[in-house]
């Protein structure tokens, strides 16, 4: 099944770094630098935190960074803080299965 | 400041209809592609539909084709989602979002409106 695959969960202690992966295909993540990441706290709307693989919108802390290698994109959160506990979703242009424009989401827990 | 205000959600019986609205402010609405994204309870994000600037092009996820219609009124800075023949699986929080096609992102989101399809 085409689409974007994320691990369902990730965790880290305050101050540590954690990386969340997003695996696509050579037709989407691997083909375009249009990978984006969204943060969603419970009961809130998603918020864009990374776009075009590595760029951060104004106001997003530089603790959040993005990268890509081949068909896999990654979001790294450095210096974990309690408020980073949230769900994170990746998205990529080119996904052929429009049901999977977004990855399945990763729940980040700050221990 | 960009604001998207979603409204129109509620409880509806299976087979019923509902119309969602989204009023935009703080952005050039007539220049913006707009989308609806939904999230079923406890589930992930699902793209539903997108409309281009003048409403001439519309795109839908397969599961809503023929049942949902996205539209807009640029004079009112408003986006709509007409939902017909609703099913239990359409139960979700529906968010309107601006689609920035230059970066292929959803950069601004409404607060969401809950649609519950149940008898």
**Taking all residues of chain A, what is their mean pLDDT, rounded to a whole number?**
92
pLDDT at A3: 81
pLDDT at residue A5 above 80? yes
Residue B5 in contact with partner chain A when CB distance is under 8 A: no
pLDDT at residue B63 above 80? yes
Percentage of residues in chain B having pLDDT higher than 70: 100
Distance CA B63, CA B1 (A): 34
Look at residues B62, A87, A69 and name the one whose alpha carbon lies nearest to residue A77: A87
What does the DSSP 8-state code read for residue A92? E
Q: Which residues of A touch B40 (CB under 8 A)?
A: none
- Using an 8 Å Cβ cutoff, are B35 and B96 in contact? yes
Q: Mean pLDDT across the stretch B33-60?
A: 94
Percentage of residues in chain A having pLDDT higher than 70: 93
pLDDT at residue B83 above 80? yes
What pairing do the DSSP bridges indicate for beta strands A35-40 and A47-50? antiparallel
Stretch 48-87 of chain A: residues touching chain B, C-beta under 8 Å: 48, 51-52, 57, 87
* Closest residue to B112, CB basis, from A36, A45, A101: A45
Distance CA B13, CA B118 (A): 5
pLDDT at residue B104 above 70? yes
pLDDT at A95: 66
Distance CA B68, CA B106 (A): 20
- Using an 8 Å Cβ cutoff, are B115 and B91 in contact? yes
Q: Mean pLDDT across the stretch A24-32?
A: 89
Measure CA of the first residue to CA of the last residue in chain B; give whole Å: 40
Q: Mean pLDDT across the stretch A38-60?
A: 97
pLDDT at residue A67 above 80? yes
Distance CA B45, CA B64 (A): 15
Residue B63 in contact with partner chain A when CB distance is under 8 A: yes
pLDDT at B107: 95
- Using an 8 Å Cβ cutoff, are B35 and A98 in contact? no
pLDDT at A101: 85
Query: CA of A78 to nearest chain B CA: how many angstroms apart?
Result: 23
pLDDT at residue A1 above 60? no
Q: For the segment A30-39, what is each residue's pLDDT rounded down to a tens digit?
A: 988 999 999 9
pLDDT at B10: 97
**How does residue A98 score in pLDDT terms, banded at 50, 70 and 90?**
low
pLDDT at residue B89 above 90? yes
List the Cα angle B116/B117/B118 in 5-degree steps: 110
Neighbour tally for A96: CB within 10 Å: 10
pLDDT at A23: 95
Residue A103 in contact with partner chain B when CB distance is under 8 A: yes
Q: Which residues of B touch A103 (CB under 8 A)?
A: 44
Which helix (H) or strand (E) covers residue A46, if one does? none
Q: Any idea which of A50-59, A60-69, B96-105 has the lowest mean pLDDT?
A: B96-105
Write the CA distances from B78 to A11, B20, B22, B44, B81, integer angstroms: 40, 10, 5, 26, 10
Would you call A38 and B106 a contact, using CB atoms and an 8 Å cutoff?
A: yes
Would you call A46 and B104 a contact, using CB atoms and an 8 Å cutoff?
A: no
pLDDT at residue A99 above 80? no
Q: Mean pLDDT across the stretch B3-13?
A: 97
**Using a CB cutoff of 8 Å and minimum separation of 24, what contacts does B63-67 make?**
B63/A99, B63/B89, B64/B90
pLDDT at residue A97 above 90? no
Look at residues B61, B68, B63 and name the one whose alpha carbon lies nearest to residue B85: B68
């Amino acid at each position: 099944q085409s689409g974007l695959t994320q691990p369902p969960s990730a965790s880290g202690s305050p101050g540590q770094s954690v990386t969340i992966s997003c695996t696509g295909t050579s037709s989407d993540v691997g083909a375009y630098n249009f990978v984006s990441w969204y943060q969603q706290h419970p009961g809130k709307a998603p918020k864009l935190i990374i776009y075009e693989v590595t760029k951060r919108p104004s106001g997003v802390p530089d603790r959040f960074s993005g990268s890509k290698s081949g068909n896999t994109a990654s979001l790294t959160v450095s210096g974990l803080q309690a408020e980073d506990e949230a769900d994170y979703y990746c998205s990529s242009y080119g996904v052929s299965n429009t049901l999977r424009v977004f990855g399945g989401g990763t729940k980040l827990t700050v221990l | 400041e960009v604001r998207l205000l979603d409204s129109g959600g509620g409880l509806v019986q299976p087979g019923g209809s509902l119309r969602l609205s989204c009023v935009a402010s703080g952005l050039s609405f007539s220049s913006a592609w707009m989308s609806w994204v939904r999230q079923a309870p406890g589930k992930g994000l699902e793209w539903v539909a997108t409309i281009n600037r003048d409403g001439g092009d519309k795109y839908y996820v397969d599961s809503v084709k023929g049942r949902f219609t996205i539209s807009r009124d640029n004079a009112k800075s408003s986006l709509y989602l007409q939902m017909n023949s609703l099913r239990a699986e359409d139960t979700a929080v529906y968010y309107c979002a601006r689609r920035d096609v230059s970066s292929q992102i959803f950069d601004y989101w409404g607060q969401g409106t809950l649609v519950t399809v149940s008898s």
